[in-house]
Structure 1
Amino acid sequence: MSRVYYGWWVVGACFGIMLYVSGVIFFGFTSFFDPLIREFGWSYAQVSFAASLTGLEMGVFAPLVGFLVDRFGSRRLLLFGFTAMGFGLILLSHTQSLAMFYGCFLIIAFGAGGCASVVTVSAVASWFDKNLGKALGIAISGFGASGLLIPLVVHLIDTLGWRGAFFTLGIGMWVVGIPLSLVVKTHPRQIAMGLLESSGEGIGLEVSSSIPAPRRMREILRSRVFTHLNATEAIRMIVVTGAVVHVMPYLESIGMTRSRAAVVAAAMPLCSIAGRFGFGWLADVYEKKMVLASALSLMGAGVLTFSFADKDWALYLFLALFPPGFGGSVVLRGAIVREYFGLHSFGKLLGITMGCASVGGLIGPILTGWTYDHLGTYRYTWFAFFFLVVIAVGLVLRMPPSEKTRDR
C-alpha cells in the first residue's frame, strides 16, 4: 500500500491551525464586546482598539516573521505562537483594567505572528510544486471555515461567562495548537528525500527540478512581478477590509434588520471556501497569473453588485461572487511567489507581500467610514472599489509569464 504523501498531513494541520486561530482571535472576538462593556463600562472604541492590536502580526511583524521562517522553520514559530496566545487568553480571563487588557492583547499579537499565514503558507509551499494550488486552497480554507466556531464561542460565554470563555479558549490554544504544530515538519524536503531513499520507491514527491533558481534579493524586489503583486495585494485588501468591516453598517443603512445583516456577515467567510478550493485547483491547471486575474474579476463584479444590495437578487449575487473571489485571490498570492521566485527566501518575500497587503487593510475600513461620514452613503465607495479592482486586474495581466509557463 502506498503511503500518503506527508505534505498532505501538513496541509491538514495548517487547515486546523487557521480554523482555530481565526475563529478565536479574529471572528470570535466580536462576541466579547457587550460582556466586557457591561462589566467595565468601556467604550466600543476602547475595546475595538485592543482587537486591532492583533493586526500587528500582519503589518509590523509580517516581514520579520518571514525572515524567521526562513531562518528557523515553521514548527518553532507555531509552537511559540500557540504558547504565547494561550498565555495571553488566560491572562485576559483575569483582566481588571484597560491597561492590562491592552497588555494581554499585545502578547496575543506576538503569538498570532507565529501562527500567521506567512508561517503556514511557507510550510505548505515547501512541500508542493505541481499540486501547490490545491494544497494552499485546502489549507487556507481553514480561515473561511473558522466562522463555524462563532456559535461555540457564544455558547462558552453564555455558559461560563466571558472570563471562563477566555480561559477555556486559552487552554484550547495549547490542546489544539501544539499537537497540530508538531505535525508541521521544519525541513520537509530533507525528510521527504530520506523517505524516498529508505523506501526505495516513489512516494509522490511533489518537489521538482522546475523550481526557479535563487535570485538576488535586490533583483526580486525591483522586478515587475513583485512590485505588481504587492500593489495588487494592497488594492485587494483595501477592498476586502472595507467591505468586510462595514458590511453590517451598510446593510443596516439601507434598511436591513440587524439579525439578517449578521447572517450575511457570517456567510461571507463560509462562501469564500468555494473560491479557495476552486481557484486553488485552477492554479494547478492554468497559468497562475490568469487565475489570479479571474479571481479578482469575480471580486470586482461582486463589489459592484453590492451597490444594489437593497435588492435580494443583488445580495445573493454578491455572496456568490465577492467571497469566492477574495478567497481565491488569497490562495494565489503564495502560489505566485512560489512559482516566480522558488523557495529561496520564500518566507521573506511572502512577508513583504503581506506587509503591503496590511497597508491596504489599514486604509480600507478608514476610507470607507470616512466616505460614509461625508457623503451619507456607501454606494460611491463600492463604485470606487470596483475601479480599483479593475486597476489590480490590469497590473496582474502585465506580469510577464513565469519560467514554468514559458517552458510549457
Structure 2
Amino acid sequence: MKRKIFYGWWLVVIALLINAFTSSPVFGGVGVWVDSLEQEFGWSRTQLSIAFSVGQLEASVMGPIIGMLVDRIGSRKVVFIGISIIGVGFVLLSLVSTIWMFYLAFAVLMIGASAGGWLPMMTAINNWFDKRRSIAMGFGGLGFSVGSFLLVPALAWVVNPNHYGWQSTSLTLGLFFIVCAYPVSTLIRNIPEDYGEVPDGIGYLNTNQTGNTIVETQTYDPSYKMKDILKMPAFWIISICHGMSTMLIGTMTVHLILALKDQGISVQTGAWIWGFTLGFSGLCQIFGGWIGDKVPKNLALC
C-alpha cells in the first residue's frame, strides 16, 4: 500500500506560498511602492520611509499579541484574519492621495502581514515537526526570499505608469487577498493530533494489555513561563542579534532599489538585483535549516 505524504510537508509548501504572497508585495516591494509614490506626489523619501520605520516598530509591538492569538485561536484563524487585513490595506493604498492616508494604509498592511504570514505559519510547522523541525522551518520560511525573487521584479513592471499603474495594482492585490483569505486558511492544520497524526508522522508503537497497537508520541513539559524566558540571557542575545540582522534587511528593503536608481540603474533592473539578492539568501536559509537538524542549535547559530 502506497504511503501517503505526511501533511506536515504539505503545510511547509503552504507556508512557503503564503509567506511569498503576503511578505513580498508588502516588505520586499517597499522600494517599488516608494518610488511610485515619490513620482506621483513628489513626497520626499524621508516622508515615505517614516511609514516603513513606524511599521516595523508596530510589527514588533504586534508580535506578542499575534503570538497570544495563535495560542488561543490557532494559526488557521489568525492567518485568515491577517490575509483579510492585507487585502483591506491594499485597497486603502489604492485610494491614497495624502501622506497621512499612506501612513494609515501602510500601518494596516503591516498589521496584516504580521498576522497573515510568518509567525502563525512557523508556529504551525513547529507543531507538526520535531526531529525535522529546522529543515521544515527553513523551507517554510523561504517564502520571503522566493517570493521577492519572483514577485518584486513583476511588481516593478506592473506598477509602471506605462503598464498597469500603482493604484490599479494595489486595488487588484487587495481584492485578490480578500477573495483568497478564507480558502487559503482552510488548508492550514494547527496541530497533528487533531487529525490523528503525530509530529514528523512518526510515533512510538506500543501494545496495550488488550493487544491493540497504540501510538505514543513525545510529550513536552511546558515548564517555562513567559517571566522565566524573559530572565534568560539566551533569549535576549538571540532577540538582539535577530533585531540587528532585521534592521539591515529593512534598510536594504526600503533604500536599495532607490539607491541603484540614483546611480542611473532603472527601477526594473534594481528590482531584479534585489530579487536575486533575496533569492541567494534563501539558499543560505536552506543550508541553515539542514545544519540546525545536524548539530546542536547553539553551534548552528555560531
| TM-score normalised by length of structure 1 | 0.62
Q: Distance in 2 between matches of 1:220 and 1:50?
A: 32
AA aligned to 2:155 is V
Aligned to 1:43: 44
Kindly indicate whether residue 167 of structure 2 is the aligned counterpart of residue 166 of structure 1: no
Q: 2:240 aligns with which of 213, 222, 231?
A: 231
**Kept after mapping to 2: 8 A contact 1:94/1:163:** yes
**Kept after mapping to 2: 8 A contact 1:58/1:113:** yes
**Kept after mapping to 1: 8 A contact 2:79/2:185:** yes
Aligned to 1:183: 187
C-alpha change, 1:244 and 1:109, in structure 2 (3 Å) is closer
Aligned to 2:97: 96
Which one scores higher on RCO, CA 8 angstroms, separation ≥ 6?
Answer: 2
| Residues 169-206 of structure 1: per-residue CA shift (max 9 Å, x gap) | 112223444433221123x13324x257xxxxx94359
Q: What SS class does the counterpart of residue 4 from structure 1 fall into?
A: coil
* 1:234-383 equivalences in 2 (<5 Å): 234-241=243-250, 258=265, 264-293=273-302
Aligned to 1:154: 156
Q: Distance in 1 between matches of 2:6 and 2:24?
A: 28
Aligned to 2:210: none
C-alpha change, 1:234 and 1:103, in structure 2 (3 Å) is closer
**Kept after mapping to 2: 8 A contact 1:57/1:113:** no
CA RMSD of aligned residues (A): 2.9
| Residues 32-87 of structure 1: per-residue CA shift (max 9 Å, x gap) | 33332333232222222233343245311111111111111111111111111111
AA aligned to 1:279 is G
Number of corresponding residues = 284
Q: 1:216 aligns with which of 225, 236, 254?
A: 225
Q: What SS class does the counterpart of residue 123 from structure 2 fall into?
A: helix
C-alpha change, 1:88 and 1:224, in structure 2 (3 Å) is closer
Q: Distance in 2 between matches of 1:37 and 1:68?
A: 37
Question: Percent of aligned positions with the same letter in both sequences?
Answer: 28
Q: Which range is displaced more, 267-276 or 39-48?
A: 39-48
Q: Distance in 2 between matches of 1:93 and 1:12?
A: 30
Q: Distance in 1 between matches of 2:197 and 2:219?
A: 21
**Kept after mapping to 1: 8 A contact 2:31/2:257:** no
Q: Which runs of 5+ in 1 are unaligned?
A: 197-201, 294-408
* 1:185-200 equivalences in 2 (<5 Å): 185-186=189-190, 188-192=191-195, 194-195=196-197
**Kept after mapping to 2: 8 A contact 1:53/1:109:** no
| Residues 186-237 of structure 1: per-residue CA shift (max 9 Å, x gap) | 3x13324x257xxxxx943599426454323322221243233223323433
**Kept after mapping to 2: 8 A contact 1:3/1:203:** no
Aligned to 2:56: 55
**Kept after mapping to 1: 8 A contact 2:31/2:256:** no
**Kept after mapping to 2: 8 A contact 1:90/1:167:** yes
| Residues 68-118 of structure 1: per-residue CA shift (max 9 Å, x gap) | 111111111111111111112112212232222222222222212212422
Q: Which range is displaced more, 26-35 or 256-265?
A: 256-265
Q: What SS class does the counterpart of residue 143 from structure 1 fall into?
A: helix
Aligned to 2:208: none
Aligned to 1:204: 202
**Kept after mapping to 1: 8 A contact 2:94/2:167:** yes
AA aligned to 2:118 is S
* 1:389-400 equivalences in 2 (<5 Å): none
Aligned to 1:121: 122
**Kept after mapping to 2: 8 A contact 1:13/1:181:** no
AA aligned to 1:61 is M
Answer 1 or 2: which has greater helix percent. Answer: 1
Q: Distance in 2 between matches of 1:269 and 1:3?
A: 33
Q: Distance in 1 between matches of 2:296 and 2:270?
A: 37
Aligned to 1:6: 7
**Kept after mapping to 2: 8 A contact 1:54/1:112:** no
AA aligned to 1:275 is C
Q: Distance in 2 between matches of 1:174 and 1:102?
A: 21
Q: Distance in 2 between matches of 1:190 and 1:138?
A: 22
**Kept after mapping to 1: 8 A contact 2:88/2:178:** no
**Kept after mapping to 2: 8 A contact 1:128/1:135:** yes
